[in-house]
Amino acid sequence: MIRTLTLAGALAMALGLSQFPAFSQQYIQRLSGAVDELRGMVVAFDHSATSAGLTRQEALARLQGDAFEDNLRSTLAGSMARYDRLKSDYDQLRGQGVLSRLTQPWHFRDAELARRTWADFQPALPVSLDGLICAGIGFGAGWLGLSAVFAGMGRLLRRRA
């Protein structure tokens, strides 16, 4: 029974992780689009600030006073911070292979992009070498993880008996 559950869990993990290459590629494409979209706003704002002899932070600080300016400053600062974060993630992920991306999940941290990518994602059979490798890693991780869980549960039950 335990081996059957472990095998089922390992197969589920293999199936799930085999989708990572395609999902990560689609996420990176969306990430690139988001960076390109935000870049225009950031470059225009920075150009306006530089033309006025101000740094980005000084220009943002000048946007204060009434509710509109406060909201605009907050929106611009948030968009610029998101741009910096997304650009950093994109620069890290862009040249990486699938296995390198698999070891860096923190670069997939934009919840909105991940949610939109997942909403449009269509799972497929892992026919690429990367997909098969990820499936193997998922199977091994699932097998080892569930084996450890069941072994721990077995020890606890034996102690109580």
pLDDT in tens, 86-117: 999 999 999 888 888 988 989 999 999 999 99
Buried b (16+ CB within 10 A) or exposed e, 140-155: eebbeebeeebeeeee
C-alpha angle with apex 66: 35 to 43, nearest 5 degrees? 20
Q: How confident is the model at residue 127 (pLDDT cuts 50, 70, 90)?
A: low
d(CA 49, CA 154): 65
| 38 — pLDDT class (breaks 50, 70, 90) | very high
pLDDT at residue 36, as a whole number: 95
Count Cβ atoms below 10 Å from residue 21 Cβ, excluding itself: 24
CB-CB contact of 90 with 32 (8 Å): yes
What is the pLDDT at residue 33? 95
